[in-house]
Amino acid sequence: MLTEKENFLRLLRGEMPEFLPRYDLMHWNVFGSPYKNEVTPEGIEIDEFGLKHKTSPESMGGFMPLPGFVLLDDITKWRDIIKTPDTSKFEWEAWCKEQLKDKDTVNNPVSVMIGDYFMKIVNFMSVTEGLIALYEEPEECYALCEYLSDYYVEVLKNEIYYFKPDVLHLADDVAAGQMPFIDLETYRKVIKPHHKRLADIALDNGMLISMHCCGKCEMFLDDFIDLGVTAWEPAQVSNDLLAIKKKYGPKLAIMGGWDNTGPISMPETSDEELRDALVHYVDTFAPGGGFAYHASVATGFGEEEYKRKMAICDEVYNTYARDWYKNHAG
């Protein structure tokens, strides 16, 4: 039997996997900046750019900009405010060794996550001011992205050298739940060239590319594929996923497609309803390949209930989804 790594990379190459993969975002990806965030006594984290972050149950553990804090209030002044670290002075080998110490790199893929240009603009400025800047000052936004890209390129090159990663996981949420934040022209002119810069380095080093983009982002998929992206997550249900699967097939693997914000993922759902929904989910997206199981429930259950519901997600994967292709052969 193939290892998880071999099977998953087969999926990303557009081939038929031996067993249905389960995308393991939390354990396969190397997250975050190599620069350790400063933490204030109040628990506020400050990253290498000076941006303050905070987490909450509603953000499901993700660090979000501190409400009310604006790092950059005028896009034309970004050169005075935004400074990137000198990567030549960082102890890359020691950091990378520490990041990999608990990862099974023989049996599981290693994925590095980078490329959040749009998110950096709106996080530095706030969503409203960031969107206005993209509309009124696209040249300045491009210049900021280019500056960030110089930094990201050096980070990625060092990660490639020391991690020997299998996958570049681009990550940039250019869409909200029901519509994109920006139009295609803005994406293509301001953001995409910098995604491409990172993607080209990955491809030149024999890596595969996946994309994290939340929200209704289906209009960007052709552009993602143009970058070399062959898998997309979380593929939220506000997109026309059946049409997407029909159009792209295994050329763009759907790593997700589960309604993790709808009623079925909420506390009031019974265990049997959850199991039935998970089976239907697998039966919908497994045929023909191009799919990785990536189901979860909302974190607002309370810890014990959350763990029990997540155990059901695990159970359905292990007892039904994983061997779906073997059990549905022919």
Q: Which domains can be identified in the chain, with CATH numbers?
A: 4-327 (3.20.20.210)
The answer to whether the CB of 46 falls within 8 A of the CB of 327 is no
Q: What is the pLDDT of residues 27-58, one digit of tens each?
A: 898 877 888 778 888 888 899 999 998 877 66
Distance CA 50, CA 69 (A): 11
**DSSP secondary-structure letter at 190?**
I
pLDDT in tens, 10-29: 999 999 999 999 999 888 98
C-beta separation of 36 from 98 below 8 A: no
Q: What is the Cα 174 distance to its own chain's centre?
A: 12
Which residues pair with residue 210 across a beta bridge? 169, 231
- Mean residue pLDDT across the chain: 93
pLDDT score at 212 = 96
**120 Cβ contact partners less than 8 Å away, ≥ 6 residues apart:** 49, 144, 145, 148
Q: With a threshold of 0.85, does the pTM exceed it?
A: yes
Name which of 92-101, 155-164, 229-238, 293-302 the model is least confident about: 293-302
Q: How far is CA 259 from CA 241, 262, 278, 282, 297, in A?
A: 11, 5, 10, 12, 9
Residue-level pLDDT at 54: 81
Q: What percent of the chain has pLDDT over 90?
A: 81
Look-up of token digits 């009031």: 268
